Amino acid sequence: MALILHNGRFIRDQWPSLPRVEKDPLTLENADPANIVPDTREELLHWAYVQKAADSVPSFLRFDVLHNAIFDDARLAHRVVVRVQGFVAKAEMSTLGTWNGNHKMLPQASQFLVLNGGEHHALFTAQCKAMTEICGLVYSSLHLGDRPEVGGKSLRLSRRVFTKRTAEDDRPNLLLRSDDPKLIASNLPQGWFVANKVVFAYQDEQGKLRPCTHMVFRRGDFVDVAVGVDVYRTNGQGGRQWHVDFTMERVIKLKSGQEVNLAKGPKPAPKVSSVGSARVVAQQDFELDIDVGTNSAHASQVRNGATVENSAAGEEVVMKER
C-alpha cells in the first residue's frame, strides 16, 4: 500500500494530536518507490498504469490500476492501494449497502464512506489532490476526456456490493446469513454474488488492531482507510457510462468522534439572538445519522493490501504492507 506525502512527510504522521496506526511498519527510510504516491503527474505515469481486468467481459468492461513492474522484483502485477485518513462524515458500510432487495438494482448496489478533514484543511486537500491525479491517470489512459476533481471539502469512497460471475470466476460467495437478517438476498438471480468484503478494525489502547464490524463506526470517528480504484463501464438505457470509484478495502478506527471532541475542550455556550419577541438559539453543531445494518461477518483478506490474521472476535489484526 502507498502513502501520500505533504511537505516531504507522510500525511499519516501530520494529524495534530491524533493517533496513527502504531504497528505500521512503513517509514520514509524503508519505503519502496511503490509505497509513496508521486507528487507530479510525470512521476505518476511511471508509477502506475491501467490495464483491462482479467474478469472483464464485453458487457461489463473492467480495468485495474496497477503498479509499474519496475517497482516489483517478482514482476507481479499488484493493484494500487492508497491509504488516506480523515473523519467519518457519512457512511453505509453494511455488507448489502444501499441494496433494498430489488433485483433490478443489483448492479447499482454499493457501500459508501464519506470522509472530511475536520479542521485540518491543508492535509485533507493534499490527499484529495493526490487522488485527483490518480483519477487523471485513468482518464488519460482510457481517453475519457477531462478528469474530474476529486474531493474538496469531502471525499466519497464507494464500492459495488455484488459481482456478476463470469465463466472463469470460481471465487466463493462471501455473503453470510448474519449479513442478511431480513433475508432479502436469499434468492439472488443466478450468477450474482458477493466477491469481496471490506475489512474493519479498531485500534485499542495498547495499539493493537482488533477486528470489528461496520457498526463500530460513527460520525466524527478518525479513521485510516486503504483505498483501491475500481474502473468499469456500464451499458444502460442512457448508453455507455464510465465509472472511476475509489473503494474502501480496509477501514481502521483510530479515535472515536467523542474522544476527538473531548480533546478539543468544552464547547462554547450557544449564541442567543432576538428576532422580534422570539428568542432564537443558534446551534453550534448538528447530528448526522449514519445508516447502519447488521453485519457480523469479517473479511479475512484485502486484495493486494493488508492481511488479517486471527480474525476471531477480540484477536489482533496484523498489518502487512506490500
Phi (first) and psi of residue 182, to 5 degrees: -90, 0
The answer to which of 59-68, 233-242, 249-258, 281-290 has the lowest mean pLDDT is 281-290
Amino acid at residue number 32:
D
Query: Are the beta carbons of 65 and 79 closer than 8 angstroms?
Result: yes
Give pairs for 277-286: CB < 8 Å, separation 24+. Answer: none
Residue 273 lies in a domain: yes
Summarised one tens digit per residue, pLDDT across range 39-56 is 888 999 999 999 998 777
Domain residue limits at 93: 5-282
In a domain, 293, yes or no: no
Q: Does the structure show a pLDDT above 50 at 285?
A: no
Rounded to an integer, what distance in angstroms lies between the CA atom of residue 266 and that of residue 151?
Answer: 30
CB under 8 A, 24+ apart: contacts of 4-9: 4/37, 4/82, 4/83, 4/84, 4/126, 4/127, 4/130, 5/36, 5/37, 5/39, 6/122, 6/123, 6/126
pLDDT digits (tens, 9 = 90+) for 62-74: 899 999 866 555 5
Going 97 to 204 to 307 to 73, the CA torsion angle's sign is: positive
Q: Rounded to an integer, what distance in angstroms lies between the CA atom of residue 136 and that of residue 231?
A: 12
12 lies in some domain: yes
Does the pLDDT value for residue 275 go beyond 80? no
Burial of 313 (0-12, 13-18, 19+ CB in 10 A): exposed
Question: For residue 147, what pLDDT is reported?
Answer: 82
The cell for 132 is: 485527483
Q: Are 165 and 59 in contact (CB under 8 A)?
A: no
For residue 76, pLDDT over 70 is answered with no
Q: What is residue 151's predicted lDDT score, i.e. its pLDDT?
A: 78
pTM: 0.81
311 in a structural domain: no
Decide which of 216 and 295 is more confident: 216
Among 11-25, 109-123, 145-159, 242-256, which stretch is predicted with the lowest mean pLDDT?
145-159
Q: Region 180-198: what's the mean pLDDT?
A: 93
Q: What is the mean pLDDT of residues 173-186?
A: 94
The answer to whether 220 touches 257, Cβ cutoff 8 Å, is yes
Rounded to 5 degrees, what are φ and ψ at 157? Answer: -110, 140
Q: Give the pLDDT mean for 94-103.
A: 96
Cα Rg, the chain, nearest whole Å? 21
Q: Tell me, yes or no, whether 166 lies in a domain.
A: yes
Mean pLDDT value across residues 153-176: 92
Element (H, E) at 87: strand 82-92
Report the sign of the C-alpha dihedral through residues 275, 281, 284, 290, in that order.
negative
Lowest mean pLDDT among 11-20, 85-94, 162-171, 267-276: 267-276
How many helices and strands in the chain, by DSSP H and E? 3, 15
Count of domains for the chain? 1
Categorize the per-residue pLDDT at 240 as very low, low, confident or very high, splitting at 50, 70 and 90: confident
Does residue 310 lie within any of the structural domains? no
For the stretch 191-228, pLDDT in tens is: 999 999 999 999 999 999 999 999 999 999 999 999 99
φ/ψ (deg, to 5) at 266: -65, 145
Domain-located, residue 299: no
User: Residues 19-47: what's their mean pLDDT?
Assistant: 93
CA 251 – CA 244 distance, rounded (Å): 20
> Can you tell me the distance from the alpha carbon of 136 to that of 41, in angstroms, rounded to the nearest whole number?
9
Angle 91-109-295 from CA coordinates, rounded to 5°: 55
Residue 300 is predicted with a pLDDT of 38
Cα–Cα distance list, 218 to 174, 261, 311 (Å)? 25, 13, 22
In a domain, 63, yes or no: yes
